[in-house]
A and B are shown apart, each in its own frame.
Chain A
Amino acid sequence: MIIQIAWKNIWRNKTRSLIVISSVAVGVFAGVFAMAAINSSVVQRIDAAVNEELSHIQVNSREFRSSSDIQDLIPGFNEADSALKSLPGVKTTTGRIIIRGIASTSAKSSGVEINGIDVEKEKEMFTLNNKVIPGTGSYFGSDTKFNSVLIGEKLAKDLNIIRYILTPEAVARLDSLKIPSRVLSKLETISGERFTSDKKFNSELEKLLTSDETGKYAIHIKEAAWSYREGAKLILTFLDMDNNQTGAGFRVCGIFRTNNDMFEGMSVFVPARELRALTGMKEETWHRIIARLDNDDLTDKITEPARKALPDLEVLNWKEISPDLAMIADFMGQIYAVFMVIILAALAFGIVNTMLMAVLERTKELGMLGAIGMNRKKIFSMIMYESIFMSVVGGFAGMGIAEAVIAATQKNGINLIKYSEGMEAFGYSAHLFPTIDAGFFVSTTILIVLTGILASIYPARKALKLNPVEAIRTE
Chain B
Amino acid sequence: MKVIEIRDLHKIYKASDIEVHAVNCVNLDFQEAEFAAIVGPSGSGKTTLLNLLGGLDMPTSGQILIDGTDLSMLKSSALIDFRMRNIGFVFQSYNLIPVLTAKENIEFIMSLQKWIKKEREERSFELLKAIGLSDRTNSRPAKLSGGQQQRVAVARALASRPKFVLADEPTANLDSKSASTLLEIMEKLNHEEKITFIFSTHDPRVMKMARRVITLEDGKVVSDDVRE
Q: Do B77 and A12 have beta carbons less than 8 Å apart?
A: no
CA distance A365 to B111 in the complex (A): 18
CA distance A371 to B89 in the complex (A): 8
**Chain B interface: which of A254-262, A303-311, A373-381, A419-427?**
A373-381
Q: Do A8 and B100 have beta carbons less than 8 Å apart?
A: yes
Question: Contacts of A11 on B, CB cut-off 8 Å?
Answer: 99
Q: Do A9 and B99 have beta carbons less than 8 Å apart?
A: yes
Question: Contacts of A369 on B, CB cut-off 8 Å?
Answer: 97
Chain B CB within 10 Å — which of A365, A370, A372, A374 has the most? A372
Question: Quick check: is B20 within 8 A (CB to CB) of the other chain?
Answer: no
* Known contacts A1-B112, A472-B91: A373-B99 contact under CB 8 Å: no
* Known contacts A1-B108, A1-B111, A469-B56: A372-B89 contact under CB 8 Å: yes
Give the size range of A's interface with the partner.
20 to 34
Question: Contacts of B223 on A, CB cut-off 8 Å?
Answer: none
Q: Do A373 and B98 have beta carbons less than 8 Å apart?
A: no
Question: Quick check: is A56 within 8 A (CB to CB) of the other chain?
Answer: no
Kindly provide the distance from the CB of A17 to the nearest chain B CB, expressed in whole angstroms.
Answer: 12
Q: Do A368 and B56 have beta carbons less than 8 Å apart?
A: no
Question: Quick check: is B109 within 8 A (CB to CB) of the other chain?
Answer: yes
Question: Contacts of A5 on B, CB cut-off 8 Å?
Answer: 97, 99-100
* Known contacts A12-B99, A364-B95, A469-B56: A370-B80 contact under CB 8 Å: yes
Question: Quick check: is A31 within 8 A (CB to CB) of the other chain?
Answer: no
Question: What are the interface flags for A5-17 relative to B under an 8 Å C-beta threshold, 1 for contact and 0 otherwise?
Answer: 1001101100000
Question: Contacts of B80 on A, CB cut-off 8 Å?
Answer: 370, 373-376
Question: Quick check: is A468 within 8 A (CB to CB) of the other chain?
Answer: yes
Interface residues of A in 457-475 (CB under 8 A from B): 468-469, 472
CA distance A364 to B108 in the complex (A): 17
Q: Do B81 and A373 have beta carbons less than 8 Å apart?
A: yes
CA distance A364 to B98 in the complex (A): 12
Question: Quick check: is B85 within 8 A (CB to CB) of the other chain?
Answer: yes
CA distance A368 to B153 in the complex (A): 12
Q: Do B56 and A468 have beta carbons less than 8 Å apart?
A: yes
Question: Quick check: is B51 within 8 A (CB to CB) of the other chain?
Answer: yes
Question: Contacts of B108 on A, CB cut-off 8 Å?
Answer: 1, 372
Question: Contacts of A372 on B, CB cut-off 8 Å?
Answer: 83-84, 88-89, 108-109, 156-157
Q: Do A469 and B97 have beta carbons less than 8 Å apart?
A: no
Question: Contacts of B85 on A, CB cut-off 8 Å?
Answer: 373
Question: Quick check: is B40 within 8 A (CB to CB) of the other chain?
Answer: no
* Known contacts A1-B111, A376-B77, A468-B56: A371-B97 contact under CB 8 Å: no
Question: What are the interface flags for B131-159 relative to A under an 8 Å C-beta threshold, 1 for contact and 0 otherwise?
Answer: 00000000000000000000000001100
Q: Do A8 and B99 have beta carbons less than 8 Å apart?
A: yes
CA distance A245 to B59 in the complex (A): 108
Question: Contacts of B87 on A, CB cut-off 8 Å?
Answer: 373
Kindly provide the distance from the CB of B11 to the nearest chain A CB, expressed in whole angstroms.
Answer: 12
CA distance A5 to B95 in the complex (A): 15
Interface residues of B in 63-115 (CB under 8 A from A): 76-77, 80-81, 83-85, 87-89, 91, 93, 95, 97-100, 108-109, 111-112
Question: Quick check: is B57 within 8 A (CB to CB) of the other chain?
Answer: yes
CA distance A237 to B112 in the complex (A): 90
Kindly provide the distance from the CB of A21 to the nearest chain B CB, expressed in whole angstroms.
Answer: 17
CA distance A468 to B99 in the complex (A): 20
CA distance A374 to B91 in the complex (A): 16
Interface residues of A in 159-185 (CB under 8 A from B): none
For B107, the closest partner residue in chain A by CB is: A1
Instruction: Name B residues whose Cβ lies closer than 8 Å to a Cβ of A.
Output: 51, 54, 56-57, 76-77, 80-81, 83-85, 87-89, 91, 93, 95, 97-100, 108-109, 111-112, 156-157
Q: 7 more A-B contacts (CB under 8 A) besides A1-B108, A372-B156, A372-B157?
A: A11-B99, A368-B89, A371-B83, A372-B109, A373-B87, A374-B112, A376-B77
Instruction: Name A residues whose Cβ lies closer than 8 Å to a Cβ of B.
Output: 1, 5, 8-9, 11-12, 364-365, 368-376, 378, 468-469, 472
11 residue pairs from A and B, CB less than 8 Å apart: A364-B95, A371-B56, A372-B83, A372-B84, A372-B88, A372-B89, A372-B109, A374-B112, A376-B76, A468-B56, A469-B51
Q: List the 8 shortest-distance A-B pairs measured between CB atoms, nearest first.
A: A373-B84, A8-B99, A368-B95, A1-B111, A373-B83, A375-B80, A469-B56, A372-B89
